[in-house]
Amino acid sequence: MAKKGVTGHFPFDNDTLVFKVLGKMFALASLARWERGEGFINLKCNPQYAQDLRAEYESIKPGYHMHKKQWNSVYIQTGELKLELILKLIDHSYDLVVEGLPKKIREQL
């Protein structure tokens, strides 16, 4: 939420928190699953990088209910992933979405 232009929404239901940058989704998570200790966050990812991450980490899988080529589900609560990597993946998702915005909208950041 501290990133420029980020807002949180519940567009699908009262459980799925969606983070958007200037109206475009870059992350989402089920609050109920976090409360049950099954927390993960779906993050947009470069397709090749997504494949590489899935091959390297058991806690990174194709995006749950998302386009499997461009989204990963990053299972945070397994303890496998270091905070530094998780933050890097959030930044990567945010940056991908920002890069895809029209220049006029990007300039609002």
Q: Is 1 inside any structural domain?
A: no
Q: How many CB atoms lie within 10 A of CB 45?
A: 23
Determine phi and psi for 54, rounding to 5 degrees.
-65, -35
Count of domains for the chain = 1
Q: What is the pLDDT of residues 32-76, one digit of tens each?
A: 999 998 889 999 999 999 999 999 999 999 998 888 899 999 999
CA separation for the pair 49, 100 (Å, rounded): 17
Name the maximum alpha-carbon separation found in the chain.
42
Distance separating alpha carbons of residues 51 and 8, to the nearest angstrom: 28
42 three-state secondary structure? strand
CA 47 to chain centre: 14
The pTM for the full model equals 0.92
Instruction: Look at residue 97 and tell me if it is in a domain.
Output: yes
Residue 33's CATH number: 3.90.1150.30
Q: Which residue range forms the structural domain that includes residue 28? A: 6-106
Q: Would you state the pLDDT for residue 32?
A: 94
